[in-house]
Structure 1
């Protein structure tokens, strides 16, 4: 998959002067809105595009990532959800099935809670419901995401050097030779495959993490959920044997409290990144997405 597989590009002007950049790969299915994770971009969906060439996929760079400019005020889940609605409006899409990974899952849940008429279904990939084990203050959050923010001060000489750092620090189960990983990570960098600084606003990242972990925003959105939702959750967080984002018991409690709206599936042998950023993880997430599209 190359950037050219996103055949359509649009730039959405926001009222505060920001610009949100989004892309669409037209297909034969109902339209799917893909929302990426906290330190990624729209190119997180490289594996999905390759696995599901028929899916009509729309994906934007979240504010403060890739080509999309950061907010001047605090970045929040509600703000991201409003940006996603603006993208749908610009494309004339009345309703979509939403695919969200990590932070994207929390944004997807917020979108469904605030504009349920625009959302047919949610497919959440290791994110969305509140996490039981989480940092308790902003200082802890900054420490938890130090591997991401530490990359921001470097002018990376080339994509290979940057890829090695990402795999070593954040995605130990990723394959550095995976061409989809190259597509994904090249969009992070100012000069693409020729390197450059990472196009990620560190303050925005921590703001978003604060809204996820230090507030009741996610819990409130989950209580207001009214659309069918699937949660695909990983066995590990970062590497084999690491504690997961969600335990089986925590997921079971979410399912039980949902009144039949939420179903869940464990993805064994994968960590958080691998739910999307691997061929096997993408295949599993696409299977879940197709169940939503068939509903």
Structure 2
């Protein structure tokens, strides 16, 4: 255990460095080998990090009970230890709960989420506490067959007995205390009230034959997370990452690559937005973002500022003047005042703005342009007053 209460998780990292890593978090009773289909399919061109959660695989097994928040804290500590500032996080079942909690408690490094066969609440607590007691009494081997029976459809179990046996051995190999303590974590886990705080691009994947977390669990997640997309797979049960390995791997790739493109557009848009409107205004707008407005903030930053304002056909000064003209024409006084002041702060001469307003008066109407002139005069006066105050403050400091 570290001073912060976290444990140093075991992991395996494959793939080229440089790209945003994809971090895989597994189900209850699994180790990082459960992600072999996805790691094999993605590591040729993506940086993959498959993790053993606390109490699983080669990770430490402190005495329980655990909480999902503790498990998420372990993952956050691992990202910090590896120097990963941004990651796409993929979680299945228990791992999906940990991924949700990571995005809620430690959102900074989470660039996107893929949540597979998981839930915001895993049923009544008694079932989990009873299972924890059974494992502590009789070991994980006593429940392995029943667990793996929920992982795969009957058709796959009939078709591939060696795979089923490997998975039983995986469950049996999970430390008794680690498994039981994670059962206790799931008993009290409930993210439903916090789903609105998750604002990163999220893909939710369910399986039509999953008896542990049926598709209605994934629909609840997709409805609660801003902008989340839902996909439900046929011919798969709880461990869809194996039974529909190709489809799951392709879906993760598409989602991650799309999130990367969105991230680049967002970063470009934020740079342009700050350049045009100033840090103070943008910081104030970002600080006021709520789960309700987050999707619009993302949209406007990527599309208006990251796409249109980035196009090479017009320079930013021309775009500033066009924006002032259009806002004057449509009478949008709030946005007009903001853009006039931003242009003046950036060093644009008030006479150029006056020419735009005069031209707009001819083609869009005198009253709106008259209001634009009044706003410009007020903005010039305010900036002059602020400059005089700054000069007085500097002089007082120099003589004091």
**TM-score normalised over the length of structure 1:** 0.72
2:104 touches 2:194 (CA, 8 Å); kept in 1?
Answer: yes
Residue 290 of structure 1 deviates from its aligned partner by: 1.5
Residue 215 of structure 1 deviates from its aligned partner by: 4.3
The corresponding residue for 2:204 is 231
1:130 paired with 2:121, answer yes
Work out which structure has the larger RCO, using CA pairs closer than 8 Å and 6 or more positions apart in sequence.
Answer: 1
Q: For 1:193-212, what per-residue CA distance to the aligned partner results, in whole angstroms no more than 9, with x for missing partners?
A: xxxx723234x434333333
How far apart in 2 are the matches of 1:165 and 1:255?
29
The corresponding residue for 2:255 is 292
1:64 paired with 2:55, answer yes
Q: Which has the larger radius of gyration?
A: 2
| Structure 1, unpaired ranges of 5+ | 1-12, 156-161, 190-196, 238-242
1:235 touches 1:244 (CA, 8 Å); kept in 2?
Answer: no
Cα pair distance change 1:247/1:99, threshold 3 Å = closer
Cα pair distance change 1:153/1:291, threshold 3 Å = closer
1:277 is paired with a residue whose SS is: helix
2:108 is paired with a residue whose SS is: helix
The corresponding residue for 2:99 is 108
2:206 touches 2:232 (CA, 8 Å); kept in 1?
Answer: yes
How far apart in 2 are the matches of 1:65 and 1:253?
28
How far apart in 2 are the matches of 1:166 and 1:206?
13
Q: For 1:122-158, what per-residue CA distance to the aligned partner results, in whole angstroms no more than 9, with x for missing partners?
A: 0011114335xx1242xx2245578977873769xxx
1:276 paired with 2:264, answer no
Q: When you count helix as a share of all residues, which structure comes out higher?
A: 2
1:32 paired with 2:37, answer no
How far apart in 2 are the matches of 1:254 and 1:19?
29
- Among candidates 14, 17, 28, match of residue 2 of structure 2: 14
Q: When you count strand as a share of all residues, which structure comes out higher?
A: 1
- Among candidates 200, 204, 215, match of residue 175 of structure 2: 200
1:41 paired with 2:31, answer yes
How far apart in 2 are the matches of 1:107 and 1:210?
14
- RMSD (Å), alpha carbons: 3.3
The corresponding residue for 1:212 is 186
Residue 272 of structure 1 deviates from its aligned partner by: 0.5
The corresponding residue for 1:245 is 213
How far apart in 2 are the matches of 1:59 and 1:25?
9
How far apart in 2 are the matches of 1:42 and 1:73?
21
How far apart in 2 are the matches of 1:252 and 1:17?
32
1:152 paired with 2:131, answer no
Cα pair distance change 1:153/1:210, threshold 3 Å = closer
How far apart in 2 are the matches of 1:153 and 1:114?
30
2:9 is paired with a residue whose SS is: strand
Cα pair distance change 1:65/1:265, threshold 3 Å = same
1:27 is paired with a residue whose SS is: coil
| Structure 2, unpaired ranges of 5+ | 260-400
Residue 164 of structure 1 deviates from its aligned partner by: 7.8
Residue 277 of structure 1 deviates from its aligned partner by: 2.0
Cα pair distance change 1:263/1:92, threshold 3 Å = same
Q: For 1:204-261, what per-residue CA distance to the aligned partner results, in whole angstroms no more than 9, with x for missing partners?
A: 4343333334343x22442321211111001122xxxxx462334x54444334342x
Residue 35 of structure 1 deviates from its aligned partner by: 0.3
Q: For 1:141-182, what per-residue CA distance to the aligned partner results, in whole angstroms no more than 9, with x for missing partners?
A: 245578977873769xxxxxx99887567545342334x984
1:100 touches 1:123 (CA, 8 Å); kept in 2?
Answer: yes
**TM-score normalised over the length of structure 2:** 0.55
2:209 is paired with a residue whose SS is: coil
